[in-house]
């Protein structure tokens, strides 16, 4: 904060406090101590207002708020860059609360720290903890039921872009993922896009009329096998999806598949390393457990 804004806030705050205090006491001195039948001279829908002073308790409450304001601005931040005599900050309070929470919950995480993720995933208490972590950090994208939505993977099935083994899930959480589907329109043209979309849909058993499937197969073999493989079953190392299982991250219609090929797609899974290894361990176990529920 610059010096100008620092002093601007201080001067403006002090001036308004002084003006409010003056107005309160100036009007108080001019008021009659007793109730009166005299009105203010105004009528509102036939209702006239008496010209009586504020009740004493109301007046003292107003004074109390002004006193509280002055004490607060001395003790806490509120006057430009002045930190307050207590030195309180949001960051310091947050760090203290995090430290208290870690001290409280550390024994719980320690219980599961050295257990394999597969074993933790089958522990009921551990799954409840992981579910809370998921609801706090992951549900905004994957949904509270972890079934995802358009552009966000379903975590409850057995279809995994980057692999569904425990260590692969942990790596995804720890490092994040960046998926890129190149835009192929400049390379294969509009007809190539349409034919390839038809061929790709056919790999999952979807019918497409009015396209040349064989031409699409040739385009796929020339341009797409490097990521999706010659059989279209994808590659976990690249995050390339399996195109043969009828599971679609961006939709399976001809329009949606064509758009994916034409304009490309970019998916980003942010790293969750800020949670720490203990919480990542529990979270990975919970995510892994979601695909075990049908077993």
pLDDT in tens, 29-75: 555 555 566 777 777 887 887 777 778 888 899 999 999 999 999 99
Average pLDDT over residues 79-102: 91
Report residue 197 as tokens: 């979309």
CATH of domain 91-176+272-290: 1.10.760.10
Would you state the pLDDT for residue 127? 94
> Across residues 165-189, what is the average pLDDT?
96
Average pLDDT, the chain: 91
* CATH code, 179-269: 1.10.760.10
Q: Give the whole-angstrom CA distance, residue 37 versus residue 224.
A: 91
Contact, 50 vs 39, CB < 8 A?
A: yes
User: Which residue spans of the chain are classified as CATH 1.10.760.10?
Assistant: 91-176+272-290, 179-269
Average pLDDT on 148-166 reads 94
Specify whether the CB–CB gap between 162 and 177 falls below 8 A.
Answer: yes
- Specify the pLDDT at position 206: 94
**E strands, 89-170, in order:** none
Residue 85 confidence (pLDDT): 93
Residues 171-198 have a mean pLDDT of 96
Q: Mean pLDDT, to the nearest integer, of 118-139?
A: 95
Q: Any long-range contacts for 200-203 (C-beta under 8 Å, 24+ apart)? A: 200/232, 200/243, 200/257, 200/261, 201/252, 201/254, 201/257, 203/232, 203/243, 203/244
pLDDT of residue 55: 80
Tell if the pTM clears 0.85, that is, is over it: no
- CB-based contacts of 47: which residues, under 8 Å, 6+ apart? none
């Amino acid at each position: 904060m610059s010096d100008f804004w620092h002093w601007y806030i201080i001067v403006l705050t002090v001036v308004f406090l002084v003006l409010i205090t003056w107005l309160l006491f100036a009007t108080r001195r001019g008021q009659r101590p007793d109730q009166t039948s005299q009105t203010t001279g105004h009528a509102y829908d036939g209702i006239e207002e008496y010209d009586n002073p504020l009740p004493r308790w109301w007046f003292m409450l107003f004074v109390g708020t002004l006193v509280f304001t002055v004490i607060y601005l001395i003790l806490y931040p509120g006057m430009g860059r002045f930190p307050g005599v207590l030195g309180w900050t949001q960051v310091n309070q947050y760090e203290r609360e995090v430290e208290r929470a870690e001290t409280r919950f550390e024994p719980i995480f320690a219980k599961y720290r050295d257990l394999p993720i597969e074993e933790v995933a089958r522990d009921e208490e551990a799954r409840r903890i992981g579910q809370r972590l998921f609801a706090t950090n992951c549900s905004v994208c994957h949904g509270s039921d972890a079934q995802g939505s358009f552009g966000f993977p379903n975590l409850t099935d057995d279809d995994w872009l980057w692999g569904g083994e425990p260590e692969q899930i942990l790596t995804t959480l720890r490092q994040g993922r960046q998926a890129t589907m190149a835009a192929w329109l400049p390379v294969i043209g509009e007809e190539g896009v349409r034919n390839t979309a038809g061929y790709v849909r056919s790999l999952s058993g979807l019918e497409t009329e009015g396209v040349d499937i064989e031409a699409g197969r040739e385009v796929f073999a020339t341009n797409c096998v490097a990521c999706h493989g010659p059989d279209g079953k994808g590659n976990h190392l690249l995050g390339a999806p399996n195109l043969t299982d009828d599971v679609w991250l961006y939709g399976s219609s001809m329009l949606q598949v064509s758009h994916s090929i034409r304009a490309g797609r970019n998916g980003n899974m942010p790293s969750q390393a800020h949670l720490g290894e203990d919480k990542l361990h529990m979270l990975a176990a919970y995510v892994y457990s979601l695909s075990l529920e049908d077993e």
